[in-house]
Amino acid sequence: MIRWIRQQLGFDPPHQSDTRTVYIANKFPQHGHYIPQRFADNRIISSKYTIWNFIPKNLFEQFRRIANFYFLIIFLVQVSPDTPTSPITSGLPLFFVITVTAIKQGYEDWLRHKADNEVNGAPVFVVRSGSLVQTRSKNIRVGDIVRVAKDETFPADLVLLSSDRAEGTCHITTASLDGETNLKTHYAVPETAVSQSVSRLESLQAVVECQQPEADLYRYHSQSDHRNPPHTVSLMLFSLYHAGVAVYTGMESKMALNYKCKSQKRSAVEKSMNTFLIIYLGILLFEAILSTILKYAWQAENKWDEPFYNQKTDQERNSSQILKFISDFLAFLVLYNFIIPISLYVTVELQKFLGSFFIGWDLDLYHEESDQKAQVNTSDLNEELGQVEYVFTDKTGTLTENEMQFRECSINGIKYQEINGKLVPEGMTEDSPDGSEELFLKAVSLCHTVQISYDQTDGPGDPFSHANGFSPQMEYYASSPDEKALVEATKRSPQALRERYLMTFCLSLGEKVLFTKGAESAVLPYTTSGEIDKTRVHVDEFALKGLRTLVVACRHFSADEYQEVDRRLHEARTALQQREERLVEVFNFIEKDLELLGATGVEDKLQDKVQETIESLRLAGIKVWVLTGDKHETAVSVSLSCGHFHRTMNILELVQQKSDRECAEQLRRLARRYNTLLVQGPPVQRVVTRWSSHSEHGLVVDGASLSLALREHEKLFMEVCKNCSAVLCCRMAPLQKAKVVRLLKTSPEKPITLAIGDGANDVSMIQEAHVGIGIMGKEGRQAVRNSDYAIARFKFLAKLLLVHGHFYYIRIATLVQYFFYKNVCFITPQFLYQFFCLFSQQTLYDSVYLTLYNICFTSLPILVYSLFEQLVHPHVLQSKPALYRDISKNSLLSFKTFLYWTFLGFCHAFVFFFGSYILMGEDTTLMGNGQVSVSPASLPSSLLFSYSRSCVSVAGLLLC
């Protein structure tokens, strides 16, 4: 806390330079001028409050609400003498509202603290004092050597030092960082790779000079005595263990820096409530000023200024008229202040809190396979689920299971399908292999980065000593799920897999053969032989089926050609200047004149009912944007297969833009590509872009082009996007996702946005959107912990919005309108009564009624209604998504609807007041204590209890 205060005051800046020096194992120099650097601890914080700031911070947030602040002022006014009502009438409800709200928000934040403690208290092993000791994750310091075992999460950003493998390799996935569950291989430098024991790690004398923390997941630069490559990772799958030095910890880690600063989200309903409160505050001020003016106008006559029953004292006669006017104005303000419904907020809070349990109890949102039910982290946004206009969704792990299955392939112009584990030519039922398949299968078997893991329970030995090269304990790990699926499909050739570990080029008939595979756009332009046209047709057919496609090709080298290639590669790799450019030049020389072998079609398994869910959202008037870090071809393929893009949709592309000028020109082309209307007008033609209503458009944009588009052409980019039915953004960094969400939600239309994802790379957009939803998937719990709601599968989003969102919005909208209505009914008779008591500030109601009317008498019935009312059956809402549009744009809390409820309240108030007045007439009645009550008209300066009770009874009966 002291350090934080010093940093805020500028006395202790967190970073003194652009770089940081990390001493491995915290072995600081013993001699010389050394100034220790201060780094953040390794605690992850997603909560809003602490035990020290909860009360002041929560009170500050609560009194930002207009009604709470207003009643605080009224309470302070009532504390002063000569007010018509007791301070209890405002103070008690205000205290009740503040307390209930604080308890609710404190409970929700306690759940966040509990989730943080699970992460911060996770056991980890670090090397300290010459031994491997167990500690908690939060105790890791920058410079500590951390040991991470198989299937464990990385507790901080680490630089790889060594692993259990002799070559110092480590195979990891970065699922919780960037959503990629693919296996990635990293290498330790030779100088540290040999340090595989605790003693050797402890004896390391090395310094890492690296940049200060930044949010870019793909950027890291460091210098050291030994060249340490960057490896910011999150989950290791393959090696048994590895050791790394912590360089960024806690809130300075890559993952934490990609979290958007957590702020209080406020729903559109709450914003409408604040607007209505301001209007009612204006009505209150008008009534108080009018009553004060009429009082002095009425008292202009001496008989009313000082009647016989209310003689003034000398002090009152000599007091300042201005002070008297202000005092009378404040008295009327206190008298009418209950037109502002103080219990509105607490009733809304209770309705949201209690109503949120229905989401967790809904069995339709329960996922039996994983035993996970829907979870509500923030109940303040329940009604916002019924107002969503844009859904931003991640792809990997959200729309898909990220599990690939080989389905079809094209070999030498012949299309094959996998049937019962065999390749069968199209139209045939039996396996009919021929020589044309051999080279294709070799290419698929060899050209990959798949690694194999064996459960070596029988002791060390050649892993291929297992029968047929495979065993039940064998596992595949690949840098691409496509490669894993292809290798599994060709696993009947163990010899080919064994050769993968030996060489990149396969010896065949005395020649060297280069195998290559990739997207058709990257490979086909360099092919000169083979069934190119037929394969291209097959690739298009695979894509139409939603399959992920790869084209396979090869090139044969003679001995002399191979020697030339080897020489040029060696020269390029050892070049001291322009190494990258020279390597690209050599690769272009090698990868040409290719022979096309065929193509593969792999299915990325979608989650259940993804296509139906997206279609339901579209029918409900919700636009779906897919934001993914995957490459262009993969993202488009999945968008087609899940129904995000239709087969008949015009696909626009904004990809691979290199400059602002090129990007702007492409945007203009997209804007006028379809349905451009040329309007003739002197002296030149004027182009007006008009999008037709009968054709749909889809837009594909990559991260680099998006950065250019948002730099200077944001308006043009938004024009193109808003006229597209579906948008796909690929190669997106986490903060880019948040920027896109912010771009939409701050546009002039101010649409309600929802973001859904399952990885830490989705946290920033989840926090940026009006509503954030985390998927309980395979990529950690960061998205779930930082979301407003959590569900197990994407398909549950349909019911969450179309049913729960619909109900919550209608219920809360009715509750809010009713509260303003009933308070108008309640306090307007008080205003009308002043005309009958010479504006003497007599109260119409007893203090008990004033205190309990809002808290109990009228709040409980509407609370029950707002919890259980269902105007339409849930099955109807799901089967007819178009009903969602009926409540869009905050229609039930529009200004027109608000005026209707207010007008209705004034009309009923007049009925209550004058109806009771007429019913009583000039008659007298005997009260319970034996006294005779007189009609109000016969004694304007008094208020009879029987009359006030009749007014309240009639009003309460009609309202309830």
Stretches where the chain sits below pLDDT 70 are 1-17, 30-35, 80-86, 89-90, 174-183, 194, 215-242, 255, 258-264, 302-319, 402, 427-436, 451-474, 477-481, 489-510, 546, 673-695, 777-781, 921-960
Q: Which helix (H) or strand (E) holds 126?
A: strand 123-128
Token pair belonging to 874: 């849930």
What is the amino acid identity at position 903? F
What is the amino acid identity at position 945? F
Nearest to 183, CA basis, from 173, 193, 169, 197: 173
**pLDDT at position 924:** 52
Residue 951's φ and ψ, nearest 5 degrees, are -60, -45
Class of domain 21-25+125-258: mainly beta
Nearest to 355, CA basis, from 819, 814, 812: 812
Could you tell me the residue ranges of all domains in the chain? 21-25+125-258, 47-121, 364-399+606-674+695-802, 405-427+437-455+472-605
DSSP 35-91: -------S-----S--TTTHHHHHHHHHTTSHHHHHHHHHHHHHHSSS-SS-THHHH
Query: The tokens 């600063």 sit on which residue?
Result: 261
pTM to 2 decimal places: 0.70
50 Cα distance to chain centroid: 23
Nearest to 743, CA basis, from 701, 698, 782, 773: 701
**pLDDT at position 948:** 40
Strand 131-136 to strand 123-128: parallel, antiparallel, or no bridges (unpaired)? antiparallel
**pLDDT at position 317:** 63
Other C-beta atoms closer than 10 Å to the C-beta of 237 total: 18
Residue 459's φ and ψ, nearest 5 degrees, are 100, 170
Per CATH, the homologous superfamily of domain 364-399+606-674+695-802 is: HAD superfamily/HAD-like (3.40.50.1000)
* Helix locations, 188-267, DSSP H: 190-193, 198-202, 254-257
Query: The tokens 């007893």 sit on which residue?
Result: 846
What is the amino acid identity at position 625? W
Going by the annotation, the residues of the binding site for Mg(2+) are 394, 396, 758, 762
Using alpha carbons only, what angle is made at residue 592 by residues 587 and 597, rounded to the nearest 5 degrees?
115
Residues 6+ positions from 627 with CB-CB distance below 8 Å: 392, 393, 394, 395, 729, 732, 736, 737, 740, 765
Cα distance between residue 662 and residue 405, in whole Å? 39
Residues 6+ positions from 573 with CB-CB distance below 8 Å: 579, 583
DSSP 532-589: HHHHHHHHHHHHHTT-EEEEEEEEEE-HHHHHHHHHHHHHHHT-SSSHHHHHHHHHHH
Give the tens place of pLDDT for each residue, 261-280: 556 677 888 888 888 988 98
Collapsing DSSP to helix, strand or coil, 334 comes out as helix
Matching CATH number, 405-427+437-455+472-605, of 3.10.450.50, 3.40.50.10420, 3.40.1110.10, 3.65.10.10: 3.40.1110.10
What is the amino acid identity at position 434? D
**pLDDT at position 911:** 92
Cα distance between residue 418 and residue 600, in whole Å? 11
Q: Which helix (H) or strand (E) holds 130?
A: none
Contact 867, 807 (CB under 8 A): no
Contact 886, 901 (CB under 8 A): no
**pLDDT at position 43:** 84
Contact 523, 516 (CB under 8 A): yes
Other C-beta atoms closer than 10 Å to the C-beta of 202 total: 18
Going by the annotation, the residues of the binding site for ATP are 394-396, 483, 517, 548, 628-630, 731, 737, 761-762
Sign of CA dihedral 750, 756, 760, 762: negative
Contact 452, 475 (CB under 8 A): yes
Q: Which residues are catalytic?
A: 394
Nearest to 237, CA basis, from 156, 189, 182: 182
Cα distance between residue 551 and residue 535, in whole Å? 9
Residue 700's φ and ψ, nearest 5 degrees, are -115, 125
**pLDDT at position 318:** 64
**pLDDT at position 42:** 84
Give the tens place of pLDDT for each residue, 707-762: 888 888 888 888 888 888 899 998 887 788 888 999 888 888 889 999 998 877 78
Residues 6+ positions from 45 with CB-CB distance below 8 Å: 116, 251
Token pair belonging to 952: 């309240």
Nearest to 795, CA basis, from 362, 388, 387, 398: 398
**pLDDT at position 420:** 77
Measure the CA dihedral 420/425/427/428, to 10°: -60
